[in-house]
């Protein structure tokens, strides 16, 4: 599936609503076999991107974890990311798009000694956002703390906390774990600065009184 602003990270859950006839057929085939298909974000850098449905070359492949088919033939499903993949070539467009892919493997991208600092640093930055009033449930911290694998924790943090699709795609394409972390850390720090500025502008007014400021 080539979808606007849809970036699927490994381990992350993505809800999808399938209504187009071609994707209904694709889903039928997927459920009858290995339950796996890829989601690529639409590359909107071209004027013809939407017309040609041009995908980014790096996408996510996932497995259908749950699916409910509705009376009208549409379906609601949950797709869980499995891996990054590179789209090497579009093989066919009918009855739905198929592509030749290869898995993209991550690499450290820096000193192994720095890997251990990734999880506590992200937790600290997320905690700082919550303290400044960011609408992030505290359960997110518990969830991120419970993930033992550094890269999985990083990818799930990105999928959960980063809502800008262009940045998410850039992060998906980072093969180095440390460069991926550094870019995401920069985003978190900018969010903290934004929240601090917002608090300063609000003064001591609560939400009901902010219009008076």
Is 80 exceeded by the pLDDT of residue 206? no
| CATH code, domain with 51 | 2.30.130.40
Query: Quick one: which of 133, 126, 138, 143 has its CA closest to 185?
Result: 126
Query: Quick one: which of 43, 49, 39 has its CA closest to 6?
Result: 39
Span 115-156, pLDDT tens digits: 889 999 999 999 999 999 999 999 999 999 999 999 999 999
Question: What 8-state DSSP symbol labels residue 42?
Answer: B
Mean residue pLDDT of the chain comes to 92
Q: Which of 104, 135, 163 is the last residue of a domain?
A: 104
Is 80 exceeded by the pLDDT of residue 205? no
Q: Is residue 35 part of a domain?
A: yes
Spatial separation of the C-alpha atoms in residues 175 and 49, rounded to whole Å: 25
Residues 167 and 196 in one domain: yes
Q: Is residue 213 part of a domain?
A: no
Contact present, 180 and 109 (Cβ < 8 Å): yes
Residues 144 and 199 in one domain: yes
Residues 92 and 141 in one domain: no
Average pLDDT over residues 64-88: 97
Residues 116 and 197 in one domain: yes
The structural domain count of the chain equals 2
Q: Is residue 42 part of a domain?
A: yes
Q: Using only the alpha carbons of the chain, give its radius of gyration.
A: 20
Residues 82 and 23 in one domain: yes
| CATH code, domain with 172 | 1.20.58
Buried b (16+ CB within 10 A) or exposed e, 125-142: bbebbeeeebeeeeebee
Full domain range(s) for residue 177: 112-208
- Give the per-residue pLDDT at 213: 47
Residues 128 and 98 in one domain: no
Q: Strand, coil or helix: what is 151?
A: helix
Residues 147 and 189 in one domain: yes
Residues 127 and 167 in one domain: yes
Is 70 exceeded by the pLDDT of residue 207? no
The string of DSSP letters for 95-124 reads: SS-EEEEEEEPPB--S-GGGGGGHHHHHHH
Q: Which of 74, 104, 134 is the last residue of a domain?
A: 104
Residues 98 and 80 in one domain: yes
Q: Which of 104, 126, 147 is the last residue of a domain?
A: 104
């Amino acid at each position: 599936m080539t979808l606007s602003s849809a970036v699927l990270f490994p381990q992350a859950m993505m809800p999808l609503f399938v209504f187009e006839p071609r994707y209904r057929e694709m889903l039928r085939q997927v459920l009858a076999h290995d339950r796996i298909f890829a989601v690529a974000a639409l590359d909107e850098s071209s004027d013809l991107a939407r017309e040609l449905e041009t995908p980014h070359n790096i996408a996510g492949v996932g497995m259908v974890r749950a699916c409910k088919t509705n009376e009208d033939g549409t379906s609601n499903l949950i797709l869980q990311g499995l891996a990054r993949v590179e789209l090497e070539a579009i093989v066919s467009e009918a009855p739905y798009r198929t592509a030749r892919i290869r898995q993209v493997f991550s690499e450290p991208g820096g000193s192994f000694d720095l890997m251990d600092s990734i999880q506590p640093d992200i937790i600290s930055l997320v905690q700082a956002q919550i303290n400044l009033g960011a609408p992030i449930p505290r359960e997110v911290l518990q969830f991120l703390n419970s993930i033992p694998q550094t890269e999985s924790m990083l990818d799930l943090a990105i999928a959960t906390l980063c809502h800008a699709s262009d940045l998410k795609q850039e992060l998906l394409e980072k093969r180095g774990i440390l460069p991926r972390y550094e870019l995401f850390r920069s985003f978190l720090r900018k969010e903290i600065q934004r929240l601090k500025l917002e608090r300063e502008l609000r003064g001591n007014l609560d939400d009901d009184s902010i219009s008076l400021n």
